[in-house]
Structure 1
């Protein structure tokens, strides 16, 4: 559902995101086993966005049934912090200054959101209510945050790894979706090998 009227305004707190995610506005009602996703546009500011996070996941408890519901929020960073939340499709704000990759769908903000959404989805599935999978007790990283900045084999700080390139658009990707759409998805931690697993 699209909230074009900005019913909560353009400056949101984490609590407002959680409330909005579990409201009937987002859809899905009170169904169990669903993950509600909130995507904010580039002109919406969320507390902590760009400074410490590009999105988040969490859960709330329904007041009527007591059921827990998982949710994800991801912000569009194209005008606020593309060097932080849309890397490697934008020059990084710190670290090695390698040239940015071409976004596979031609939109740095949206392609950056896909990366963040994919990582948060993996973390939500493995740790929906904060008591699921973490890398270990001393490094409480989830399956995607443990592999930050890794998208292909051979990745190292400032280099996303060996990726496929669409020779028509120049876009870098490692996954294909419906209708030939191309995406860049983050690596996730394989708990068996304790290494970051990439698609390519």
Structure 2
């Protein structure tokens, strides 16, 4: 209940895993932001969830963030910034940054569905839209977002 999710590895470090909680019931102000009112910081109106479900869309953000971490730092000794005891990984180094001009409390310039008002930055199959987190780009030494 204290995390939006985490990744780790099994014994012998031959397997890796991701665990993600239900963003609608587990700290929604942190785990489902920007689709839910934040726990702290600027209290702007939450964004519309791309698929109409705050919890599920929040989980997509968390899964995408953790996938980036498990790919770049699967065993805790791969790519990260800062101390190994509290690493900032590819996505956690860019927490809350989803579009151009983002800063803490503002997700950035995003695409908006003209019918539903939902915010997104990525297109999936069957017309689905998603909000995916920014990732740290070591070539630019900066966070990069899709839009």
SS at match of 2:136: strand
Is residue 2:136 matched to residue 1:189? Answer: yes
Q: Following TM superposition, by how much is the alpha carbon of 1:193 offset from its aligned partner in structure 2, in angstroms?
A: 1.2
CA distance in 2, matches of 1:69, 1:193: 31
CA distance in 1, matches of 2:83, 2:20: 26
Is residue 2:68 matched to residue 1:122? Answer: yes
- TM-score w.r.t. the length of structure 1 is 0.70
Number of corresponding residues: 146
Q: Deviations over 1:70-106 (max 9, x none)?
A: 1000011212321110000011011111110000000
Q: Counterparts in 2 of 1:1-200, with a 5 A limit?
A: 49=1, 51=2, 53-61=3-11, 66=12, 68-137=14-83, 140-200=87-147
1:20 alignment partner in structure 2: none
SS at match of 1:72: strand
SS at match of 1:196: strand
- RMSD (CA atoms): 1.4
Any stretches of 5+ residues in structure 2 without a counterpart? none
SS at match of 2:41: coil
Q: Deviations over 1:50-75 (max 9, x none)?
A: x3x200000002xxxx5610100001
Tell me if the contact between 2:13 and 2:75 (Cα under 8 Å) persists in the aligned partners: no
Q: Which of 1 and 2 has greater Rg?
A: 1
Any stretches of 5+ residues in structure 1 without a counterpart? 1-48
